[in-house]
Amino acid sequence: MDAANRGRVRVERSAKRVRTLFGGRVVADTTRALLVWEAPYYPTYYFPLEDVAEAVLRPEGTTRHSPSRGDGEVHTVSSGGVEAAGAALVYAESPLEPIRGHVRFGWDAMEAWFEEDEEVFVHARDPYTRVDVLPSSRHVRVEVDGVTVADSRSPRILFETGLPARFYLPKTDVRLDLLRHTETVTHCPYKGTAEYWSVGGHEDLAWSYPRPLAESQRIAGLVSFYNEKVDVYVDGVLQERPKTKFA
């Protein structure tokens, strides 16, 4: 299917097999999923109703209105003896023709999502987002409140579409004695699960992916700092702090 657009919403057909689980079983399984960019940063999966398991959806008799997608009929999702109220929207008469007859499951309401046989976290992967990890010989030094917390001549630089370049540094080049491990854990659909450290009075300033996903293996165990919040010198030149949602 060619891309379709209405307002700021973009729709494309995915080439992947997509499944979502709830109540310990697969409630939707399709090779005809739609990628719908409801927000500008990443897409959401929509399933054809024909590819949703029988008796999973129960209409609640209400709708939610979107200026671009029209009225979505609210459904409870029921499976394996558990229910999630309001967890699905069915667009029967959407002004956006490609999503008619499709259901949108709330990502966080479901128990698990799979693209082919790989579990995906946080949101659907954007086919236009690319992650490249390149070894570098640049000299990278990181300061926090005037104190050098990392100094490396063998960084790996991660380039991710829409984000500033991130410098991942060997732990042997990081002042780990100045870092305090926190309980924070985040998930990325492209890199995996991250752990965090605070530095001084700055919470969750640095992170690492102990066991990243296959496409990001080159950053395994390395430490990166929010260059929005620290002073980064590259080959002796202080870098401008980027302005992002993490600033």
pLDDT of residue 1: 40
Spell out the residues 6+ positions from residue 245 whose beta carbon is closer than 8 angstroms to its own.
none
CB 168 within 8 A of CB 224: yes
Edge-to-edge order in the sheet of strand 112-115:
25-30, 18-22, 112-115, 118-119
Q: Encode pLDDT of 47-71 as tens digits.
A: 999 999 999 999 999 999 998 899 9
177-203 per-position pLDDT tens digit: 999 999 999 999 999 999 999 999 999
- pLDDT tens sequence across 117-175: 999 999 999 999 999 999 999 999 999 999 999 999 999 999 999 899 999 999 999 99
Instruction: Pick the closest to residue 135 from 116, 151, 154, 149 (CA basis).
Output: 154
CA angle (95, 41, 7) in 5-degree steps: 25
Superfamily of domain 4-119: Domain of unknown function (DUF427) (2.170.150.40)
131-238 has the same fold as 4-119: yes
Mean pLDDT in residue range 1-28? 84
How far is 155 from 164, CA to CA, in rounded Å?
A: 15
CATH number of 131-238: 2.170.150.40
For the four alpha carbons of 213, 113, 193 and 43, in that order, the dihedral sign comes to positive
Answer for the pair 165, 135: CB distance below 8 angstroms, yes or no.
no
What are the boundaries of each domain within the chain? 4-119, 131-238
For residue 154, the Cα-to-chain-centroid distance in whole angstroms is 28
For residue 41, the model assigns a pLDDT of 79
Could you tell me the two tokens for 18? Answer: 């997509």
> What's the average model confidence in pLDDT over 99-127?
95
Q: How far apart are CA 195 and CA 59, in angstroms?
A: 40
Sheet arrangement for strand 179-188: 131-135, 156-160, 166-169, 223-225, 202-208, 192-199, 179-188
